[in-house]
Amino acid sequence: DVKVTQSSRYLVKRTGEKVFLECVQDMDHENMFWYRQDPGLGLRLIYFSYDVKMKEKGDIPEGYSVSREKKERFSLILESASTNQTSMYLCASSPTSGVFYEQYFGPGTRLTVT
């Protein structure tokens, strides 16, 4: 059974803090993704990675960076947290084999920046 875990379910940080969100998958998937989900806006892609040390910007990368040093781990970094980054953050992974690219999601981290 595919498992994607995220380091925290709930996180409260102050404006200006550096924030690390960690994601680990156990299925040897090549692709990993970070999304944020906000009411009325749906899921928006922040960054994704298709291989170790490889990354590509998604639709809303501003204010975020990522790190993928190992295949199973994909980190999202908020360099200087701001209140407009308060959101639900979801990590996902998927294989590159096959056609359908089903994505498996972690449980999410609800981040509040005060």
Partner 1 sequence: RKEVEQDPGPFNVPEGATVAFNCTYSNSASQSFFWYRQDCRKEPKLLMSVYSSGNEDGRFTAQLNRASQYISLLIRDSKLSDSATYLCVVNTASSNTGKLIFGQGTTLQVKP
Point out which residues bind partner 1 (CB under 8 A): 30-31, 33, 35, 40-43, 45, 48, 50, 56, 90, 94-96, 99-108
CA distances (Å), origin 37, targets 1, 16, 52, 74, 81: 25, 21, 25, 18, 17
Rounded to the nearest 5°, which phi and psi values hold at 108? 95, 150
- Within the chain, residue ranges assigned H as helices are none
Q: How far is the CB of 16 from partner 1 (least distance, A)?
A: 28
Nearer to partner 1, 85 or 94 (CB): 94
Nearer to partner 1, 80 or 112 (CB): 112
Q: How far is the CB of 22 from partner 1 (least distance, A)?
A: 16
Q: How far is the CB of 103 from partner 1 (least distance, A)?
A: 6
Nearer to partner 1, 79 or 95 (CB): 95
CA pair distance 62, 50, nearest whole angstrom: 20
Nearer to partner 1, 16 or 107 (CB): 107
Chain centroid offset of residue 30 CA: 14
